[in-house]
Amino acid sequence: MEPSALRDDMVASLEHEMKGLVRSEYVGLALRTVPRHEFVPLEAHEGAYTDQSFDHRGTKILSPSTVAQLLEALDVRETDSVLVVGAGVGYTSAVLAEIVGEENVHAVDITRTVVYEARQNLASAGYGGVFVDCRDGADGLPEYAPFDRIVVEAASIRPPHALVEQLTPDGRLVVPLGGGTQQLAAVERTHDGTPEVAEEFGTVAFSPLLVDGEQADTIERNRTDREDREFAERHFQTRRGWEHEWIDWDGYGL
């Protein structure tokens, strides 16, 4: 079957069978246009237009339904300037480029090899005008700020301060918030510049936002706030000291 027909089937499923994940006409059109197979490894081409995610070089290629959920939450407009934090393989950036134009899409990733691959994928798919740079995502891209929309493809305990600062006054930041349980949230700036969760879009599961010194494609990683808390919760449940060996006094005839 031709890729265009496979994309039509994929989006139709997201529109009708998967709880209406695609509701906006412009999101559906963009998903129908971008050649997703250009953004997945050759061995995964067969599943490119199914609702699957793939692990790839320490990062995750998001499923079409997850990308649709992010874009619907982002509520992007045709003339918006957009920043994607966590460039990954470049697929989300390509879909956004179909909506707002390549020159209005910027992406950053902390892992250099991921950045190189995203650039190659975007160029191969016809979106070479998307700007992709190697940066700590939590720092954003101040040289190109402010942004009307910022989407983060990684979880954070709280909205990163620098990203909130780089929003336009009526801008929107979409980010998975939380440690163990994450909520996909749309964050906006109040009149005094502080972040406020304006809307939530359900439970999600993203990898933690990496910080300076961490790389997605390495085995060793610094522990994040999320991992520290999960470790503490597990450790709290373990028995230690005198609780470790319970003495059965009845066995001694007392």
Q: Which residue has the higher pLDDT, 42 or 114?
A: 114
Gap between the Cα atoms of 151 and 174, Å rounded: 5
Give 49-107 pLDDT, tens digit per residue.
Answer: 998 888 877 778 899 999 999 999 999 999 999 999 999 999 999 999 999 999 999 99
Gap between the Cα atoms of 12 and 18, Å rounded: 9
Do 139 and 52 meet the contact criterion of CB atoms below 8 Å apart?
A: no
Which token pair is 187? 């964050």
Gap between the Cα atoms of 66 and 5, Å rounded: 21
Strand-pair category, 54-56 with 59-61? antiparallel
pLDDT confidence band for 220 (50 / 70 / 90): very low
Range 218-246 average pLDDT: 48
> Per-residue pLDDT for 214 more than 50?
no
Range 130-137 average pLDDT: 96
pLDDT given at position 45:
84
pLDDT given at position 18:
66
Average pLDDT of every residue of the chain: 85
pLDDT confidence band for 232 (50 / 70 / 90): low
pLDDT given at position 246:
41
Give 15-45 pLDDT, tens digit per residue.
Answer: 987 667 899 999 999 999 999 999 998 877 8
pLDDT confidence band for 241 (50 / 70 / 90): very low
Q: How are the residues of the chain apportioned to helix, strand and coil, as percentages rounded to the nearest 5? A: 40, 20, 35
Say whether 243 sits in a helix, a strand or coil.
Answer: helix
Which token pair is 136? 């700590």
Please tell me the least confidently modeled range out of 50-59, 86-95, 192-201, 232-241: 232-241
